[in-house]
Amino acid sequence: MNAEATRWDADMEELASPAPLLQSWAWGEVQAQSGWSVERLRLVRGAMASVQIRKVGSAREAYVPRGPVPATPEAVDWLVAWARNANIARLVVEPEAPESLGEALTERGFAQVAPTQPKHTRIVELRPPNELLSTFRHGRRYNIKTGIKRGVVVEEGRDAIELARQSAAVERRASIHLPDRRYYDLMLYLLPWCYTYTAYAPEKHQPLASVLVARHAGRAYSLFAGRSGAHRELMGNDLAWWSAISSAAEAGCKDFDLWGVPPPDAGPAHPWHGIGFFKSEFGGEEIAYAGAWELVLSAGGARLLGMERKTRALIRGLKRNIP
């Protein structure tokens, strides 16, 4: 990283502990290669925000993932002042703050919208691997030990191709949209520490599952994962996750963000019920963030942006249904 990037991340760490990965300099570089313009703002009284901007015609939308930092009402006020001055039609923030911040956002004219980043997650406090494994629930411990006994091999690398294959299997099963290989490549090569953990069957070396993990400011994040569903008896998915978590512990990370679980009151019908149960067996603490909040500064511009967004969603749906 250059001196400006190093200074940005260091200053961010003075404002939040841990500093959010999605507000880091490198995350902005990933987004800049993915079609966004990125502005890194130093606001009043030291507040900071890495802002992603896109333009449709003359309308501009600003998105601030896990920001501003610090996540305070005052920092939001300074961000809104910047947005008005920059002729932003729609400002969306997803601060790394508790749900209680929503009251202050409502008072400022924001309305809650569907989140882009997980509103609910589970964060596991890390300790030496032997101690850590003992904190997992019985079912997860059994699967991990069984996978080890059955010879599953996990490789740490930068295998965007295999991650894309494994994710595509999940995408087909769950009818959800996940990034393509190019986006995985960007994260793997632009984030300072980002690797895949891919589990293989012992003899045929057949890939079974893959997890992409980034580390930043003492926290590890499992940003994307996939599994083909083949040879479930080998517990390859469990081993891929265990390798990712235990490696972070050995590297000195303080905690591990499992990155997305259903709300605490969600029932079996919730589309994330299965993954929520899977992640719950790693233990940790459930965290609820404030979610995504929108402030419309130009009604006409926001309508144009909304129409373009719906068109993109329709195209993604059509592509997913093409055999």
**Bridge partner residues of 55 (DSSP):** 60
Does 124 share its domain with 139? yes
Give the total number of structural domains in the chain: 2
Does 129 share its domain with 86? no
120 pLDDT higher than 80: yes
Burial class (CB in 10 A: 0-12, 13-18, 19+), 221: buried
Does 31 share its domain with 107? yes
- Please state, in angstroms and rounded to a whole number, the distance separating the CA atoms of residues 118 and 20: 13
66 pLDDT higher than 80: yes
Mean pLDDT across the chain, nearest whole number? 93
pTM recorded for the entire structure = 0.94
Average pLDDT on 89-107 reads 97
Write down the pLDDT at residue 204.
73
Q: Among 71-85, 143-157, 270-284, 298-312, which stretch is predicted with the lowest mean pLDDT?
A: 298-312
pLDDT per residue as tens digits for the range 242-267: 999 999 999 999 999 999 999 998 88
318 pLDDT higher than 60: no
Does 43 share its domain with 55? yes
pLDDT per residue as tens digits for the range 24-58: 999 999 999 999 999 999 999 999 999 999 999 89
Does 177 share its domain with 89? no
Amino acid at 210: S
CA 145 to chain CA centroid, Å, is 28
Residue-range definition of the domain harbouring residue 18: 3-116+289-320
319 pLDDT higher than 50: no
**Bridge partner residues of 292 (DSSP):** 113
Buried/exposed 272-281: b ≥16 CB within 10 Å, e otherwise:
beebbebbbb
CA 2 to chain CA centroid, Å, is 24
Does 252 share its domain with 298? no
Write down the pLDDT at residue 219.
98
- Please state, in angstroms and rounded to a whole number, the distance separating the CA atoms of residues 263 and 120: 6
CATH number of the domain enclosing 24 = 3.40.630.30
Write down the pLDDT at residue 314.
58
pLDDT band at 320 (very low <50, low <70, confident <90, very high): very low
Taking the CA atoms of residue 1, residue 258, residue 122 and residue 33 in that order, the dihedral angle to the nearest 10 degrees is 50
Does 254 share its domain with 283? yes
Write down the pLDDT at residue 323.
42
CA 296-300-304 angle, 5° bins: 95
- Please state, in angstroms and rounded to a whole number, the distance separating the CA atoms of residues 289 and 99: 5
Burial class (CB in 10 A: 0-12, 13-18, 19+), 115: middle
